[in-house]
């Protein structure tokens, strides 16, 4: 479920992990955008959560990030929006 998005400066050489690390910082009160994130009453970004960067999905691991390459995760945002316990991002 898409719950938050942000923009950051990058170039062709920027590693996707940099975006994921920024998402982790936002989702754990370590970034200037954390206030906006927590204003939405979201939980912290934790092990097992996924971050999507373009078409690439990364899984938050106990240490670092693991690309999801064996399948494409099912984005349930459209089908579960408004259900109890969901806080999907604005379309």
pTM score: 0.83
Give the pLDDT confidence score for residue 81 in this predicted structure.
Answer: 66
Q: Is the confidence at residue 2, as pLDDT, over 70? A: yes
Q: What is the pLDDT of residues 32-65, one digit of tens each?
A: 999 999 998 889 999 999 999 988 999 999 999 9
Q: Which residues of 10-25 are buried (b: 16+ CB within 10 A; e: fewer)?
A: eeeeeebeebbbbbbb
* Residue 14: partners with Cβ closer than 8 Å, 6 or more residues away: none
């Amino acid at each position: 479920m898409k719950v938050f998005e942000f923009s950051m400066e990058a170039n062709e050489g920027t590693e996707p992990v940099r975006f994921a690390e920024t998402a982790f910082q936002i989702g754990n009160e370590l970034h200037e955008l954390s206030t906006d994130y927590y204003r939405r009453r979201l939980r912290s970004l934790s092990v097992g959560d996924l971050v999507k960067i373009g078409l690439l999905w990364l899984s938050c691991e106990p240490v670092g990030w693991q690309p999801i390459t064996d399948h494409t995760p099912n984005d349930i945002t459209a089908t579960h929006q408004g259900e109890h316990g969901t806080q999907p991002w604005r379309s």
